[in-house]
A and B are shown apart, each in its own frame.
Chain A
Amino acid sequence: MTNLILRDLVKRYGDTEVLHSINLTVDEGEFVVLVGPSGCGKSTTLRMIAGLEEITEGTIEIGGRVVNNLEPKERNIAMVFQNYAIYPHMSVRRNIGFGLKTAKLTKDEKNARIDEVAGILGMTDLLERKPAQLSGGQRQRVAIGRAMVRDPAVFLFDEPLSNLDAQLRTQMRLEIKKLHTRVGRMMIFVTHDQVEAMTLADRIVIMKDGYIQQIGTPAEVYHAPANTFVAQFIGAPAMNLMEAQGTGHGVKLWNGAEISVPGLSIPAGRSVTFGIRPEDLKSDATGVLSGTVTVAEPLGSETLVYVDVDGHEINATAPGRTPPKAGDKISLSLSGEDAHLFDTASGQSLRLS
């Protein structure tokens, strides 16, 4: 059983601590996505797992073995880089086979492995080409092939889809997911794109400023965000956050609207942050949030509507073929069951605490 355990992992550059006591356990075969804005420490964490960055404090265990002082090649990992890092002077075959250079295999065995991987990736016809003759997606596939050919215990992906155009990115995302199902190996994937994180991950690790904000399944982090950062980072368009005060059995919004929140008792007068996802706001003549549509963005299946409610901008989604237009008056209703409540000072969720 190969699992990966990060224990109290710390990274410092000089006096600057960029990663603060990271703890994470990943099970065999699990697909974990590290996600966060740039500078949150996700890539540093991945590079420490790979052995490309020194570990300042803490330990990394792969398959029950502390790998802190092992060279990358001794860690039984493979990594796919953002800019592919496939060697321009080598054919696809040599690129894929490069990872086997140090493996103790005969030439025939190596070729068989390369052919097998190329078959899985649908690249058999391209084996003799040079990278310059490949498209971006094909290059990325070669990079993945080079990782696969070594059959490592852990696959590491460092923003591998960032250089692809939107359509190709969606396609490669799907391919990586299929690949994971097929090879069944542990994959750790770094991205700043929350859509990639949601679609790929068994579990998502959301990071910010070198701290883990929340670890959970895509559904957990979406429906029960641990704090306001996660609430806003996961989900597009982002969750609406508004000032509110406790009323005992519910909250009173900044505009005076009272909303009862079942299953949660908030002391009267306590300042809280009230969060509601755009899709949980319904257009309703009796709604508590009334305002004017400032911008309407049609997305095809639905329309994203920005509503000015007493100076606050609220996002809502409107389904159907006759969405509101800019300048329309609109009222939005919401249910307390869909509400997310956070402590105003700490930003932590009141439901989870």
Chain B
Amino acid sequence: MAATDDLAVRASSDALLKASAPPKKRNMAQFIRWVLLFAGGIVMVMPLAYMISTSMKWPWEVYNLGLIPEEPTLENYTHVLEDGRFFGWFINSLVIATITTLSALFFDSLVGYTLCKFKFRGRYIVFIAILSTLMIPTEMLVIPWYMMSQSFGWLDSYWGIMFPGLMTAFGVFLMKQFFETVPDDFLEAARIDGLNEFQIWWQVAMPMVRPALAALAIFIFLGNWTAFLWPLIVTTSPDLYTLPVGLSSFGDEADVAWELIMTGAAISTLPTLVFFLIFQRFIIRGVVMAGLKG
């Protein structure tokens, strides 16, 4: 009796499955999907896992590639946090990433708005020119940046580290696309209400693209937080190092202190994690919207 019931249940569930695809094929597709996701997950998570793992190893164990430390220790954390330099670098990174983010948000959205909402001669050419700079890799820009910094006396200064990132072509592009979704009626209503063009942008248009601003803020903050090449080139005094540059200087020429570098890296991911958690709902919406409207 039980067996027939079982059969009946299976038959009905099979009938349901048949509606979409044969069960074997479906299971196979599901399996492949899981494998791919798992592989992707491994690729993403492994470096992080090694970072955490290495930060908890003693120096003699660093080159042993096991994921679980034989004698786990928090000694490295104490060491890094007690090292006065680390705190200075942390502050440098925080100040630079924050200022650059605020500046880029302001200028990118201002330029994006202008290119989107004002009809003027040469508008398209300006937009294409800004966009084309996206195709030049940072590595190529480093030389002109350096020469510029040299002639203006910006070498080895906060300003020198920050100036290339104060406005970004990507941000201009992103914001322009988002402002396209703000209907002109809102701006015209504000114009009739007596606002000047700057107020219209700031009080009416900007609040309407908040998700895009949040997404852009995260992109830019993370980009500057992890920037390595340019800060390395433009700074010479250790006081001005940003976190990635400072961390890489741990150890001497003969021996790189990987356990300390990984410890510093682990600590330095915390602010980005906090930043992300705060803006998460915006970034997800922002990315979705960028996908749809961009």
In the complex, how many angstroms separate the beta carbon of B188 from the nearest chain A beta carbon? 5
Q: Which residues of B contact A77 (CB under 8 A)?
A: 192
Q: How far is the CA of A83 from the CA of B204 in the complex (A)?
A: 15
Q: Contact at A50–B208, with CB atoms within 8 Å?
A: no
Residues A83 and B192 in contact in the complex (CB < 8 Å), given A88-B208, A89-B207, A89-B208: no
Q: Shortest Cβ distance from B220 into chain A, in angstroms?
A: 23
Known A81-B185, A82-B185; judge A87-B204 contact (CB<8 A). Answer: yes
Instruction: Tell me what chain B mostly uses at the interface: helix, strand, loop, or mixed.
Output: helix
Chain B residues positioned under 8 Å from A81 (CB to CB): 185, 188-189
- B41: CB under 8 A from chain A? no
Q: Which residues of A are found within 8 Å of B207, using beta-carbon distances? A: 87-89
Q: B242-265, CB under 8 A of A: which get 1 and which 0?
A: 000000000000000000000000
Asked if B194 and A73 sit within 8 Å, CB to CB, the answer is yes
Name the A residues within 8 Å of B202 (CB-CB): none
A60 contacts partner chain B, Cβ-Cβ < 8 Å: no
Instruction: Verify B188–A52 contact, CB threshold 8 A.
Output: yes
Please measure, in the bound complex, the distance between the C-alpha atom of A89 and the C-alpha atom of B207, giving whole angstroms: 7
Can you list, as one digit per residue, whether each of B188-229 has a CB less than 8 Å from chain A (1) or not (0)?
111111110000000010011010000000000000000000
| Inter-chain contact B193/A146, CB cutoff 8 Å | yes
Q: Is the CB of A99 within 8 A of B208?
A: no
What's the least CB distance linking B107 to chain A, in Å?
A: 22
Taking the complex as formed, is B183 at the interface, i.e. its CB lies under 8 A from any CB of chain A? Answer: yes
B186–A101 contact, CB under 8 A?
no
CA distance in complex: A72, B185 (Å): 14
Residues from chain A with Cβ under 8 Å of B188 in the complex: 50, 52, 72, 79, 81, 85
Closest to B207 in A: A89
Query: B157-194 vs A: 1/0 string, CB under 8 Å?
Result: 00000000000000000000000000101101111111
Q: Is the CB of A52 within 8 A of B191?
A: yes
A10 vs B287: C-alpha distance when bound (angstroms): 45
Majority secondary structure of chain A interface residues (helix, strand, loop or mixed) = loop
A40 to chain B, nearest CB (A): 20
Q: Is the CB of A85 within 8 A of B194?
A: no
Contact A85 B189 (CB under 8 A): yes
Q: Are B189 and A101 in contact (CB under 8 A)?
A: no
Q: Tell me the complex Cα distance, A88–B207, Å.
A: 9
Given contacts A72-B191, A73-B194, contact A85 B185 (CB under 8 A): yes
Q: CA separation between A78 and B195, bound complex, in Å?
A: 13
Within 8 Å CB of A88, what residues of B?
207-208
Chain B residue nearest to A158 in the complex (CB): B185
Residue A98 lies at the interface, judged by CB distance under 8 Å to chain B? yes
Contact digits for A75-110, partner B, Cβ 8 Å, 1 yes 0 no: 001110111010111000000001101100000000
**In the assembled complex, how far is the CB of residue A45 from the closest CB belonging to chain B, in whole angstroms?**
15
A190 shortest CB reach to chain B, Å:
14
Q: Are A83 and B193 in contact (CB under 8 A)?
A: no
Given the known A-B contacts A87-B204, A88-B208, are A50 and B192 also in contact in the complex, defined by CB atoms under 8 Å? yes
A selection of 26 A-B contacts at a CB cut-off of 8 Å is A50-B188, A51-B192, A71-B191, A72-B192, A73-B191, A73-B192, A73-B194, A77-B192, A78-B192, A79-B189, A79-B192, A81-B185, A83-B183, A85-B185, A87-B204, A88-B207, A89-B207, A89-B208, A89-B210, A98-B190, A101-B194, A102-B193, A102-B194, A102-B195, A146-B189, A150-B193
- A-B pairs, top 3 by smallest CB distance, nearest first, are A73-B194, A102-B194, A85-B189
